[in-house]
Chain A
Amino acid sequence: NAGVTQTPKFRILKIGQSMTLQCTQDMNHNYMYWYRQDPGMGLKLIYYSVGAGITDKGEVPNGYNVSRSTTEDFPLRLELAAPSQTSVYFCASRPGQGIGSNQPQHFGDGTRLSIL
């Protein structure tokens, strides 16, 4: 059982380039999340999704886009990469029964992204 899988693990981008960070979970979880973690800091929520076709902004959504066409996949898109987006990106999921708040989150191993 793979859990939450993120690809790639590492990436270096030039300013202005675009890329998609992939996230897949095989636990049939409804809720999925994208966080970023800047050096020495905690995690901040970028976007989240409560099911296929439904997404919403978190604390720091500017410069990112997401889509959720299937339950399993929740890709994060950077359209015009900027140095301020250098960070470690974590994807997470949880079952989401009822209002979905009383279940633990499961995290991927992260994607380390550098924008130069």
Chain B
Amino acid sequence: GIQVEQSPPDLILQEGANSTLRCNFSDSVNNLQWFHQNPWGQLINLFYIPSGTKQNGRLSATTVATERYSLLYISSSQTTDSGVYFCAANTGGFKTIFGAGTRLFVKA
């Protein structure tokens, strides 16, 4: 089955800094999502982005399907951005595979 790898595994930022999180996948995907898991454990949908680029406020995401990777950009980071960021991929069947996540801590 598809393998999903995220990097870096951990990231510490000073408030106001920018960052890029990466998600590599081993097969072509029909579905690629980015989630933020907040410190209370809730999973928040950020982007549904099987290809192309999307932006939502300080966050944006780009998926290059032909090269099998997706990037999540966080600009002007805030302490509320802390948590774990997951990407999840689906190759066209019913199963969605999650990466192990990037743990982000933004210092005030």
By a beta-carbon cutoff of 8 Å, the part of chain A in contact with chain B is 31, 33, 35, 41-45, 48, 50, 56, 58-59, 88, 90, 99-107, 109-110, 112
- Beyond A104-B33, A105-B33, whether A42 also contacts B100 by CB under 8 A is yes
Q: Smallest CB–CB gap between A24 and chain B, Å?
A: 17
Q: Smallest CB–CB gap between A31 and chain B, Å?
A: 7
Nearest B-chain residue to A90, judged by Cβ: B43
B101 and A42 within 8 A (CB): yes
Verify if B86 is at the interface (C-beta below 8 Å from A). yes
B50 and A45 within 8 A (CB): no
**Bound-complex Cα distance A56 to B94 (A):** 10
Interface centre among B43, B50, B100 (most CB of A within 10 A): B43
A43 and B98 within 8 A (CB): yes
B43 and A107 within 8 A (CB): yes
**Bound-complex Cα distance A110 to B88 (A):** 17
B95 and A45 within 8 A (CB): yes
Contacts of B93 in A (CB 8 A): 99, 101
User: What total of A-B pairs shows CB separation below 8 Å?
Assistant: 60
Contacts of B98 in A (CB 8 A): 35, 42-44
**Bound-complex Cα distance A41 to B45 (A):** 18
**Bound-complex Cα distance A105 to B88 (A):** 10
Contacts of A106 in B (CB 8 A): 45
B95 and A58 within 8 A (CB): yes
Verify if B57 is at the interface (C-beta below 8 Å from A). no
Verify if B31 is at the interface (C-beta below 8 Å from A). yes
Q: Smallest CB–CB gap between B90 and chain A, Å?
A: 5
B95 and A42 within 8 A (CB): no
**Bound-complex Cα distance A90 to B43 (A):** 9
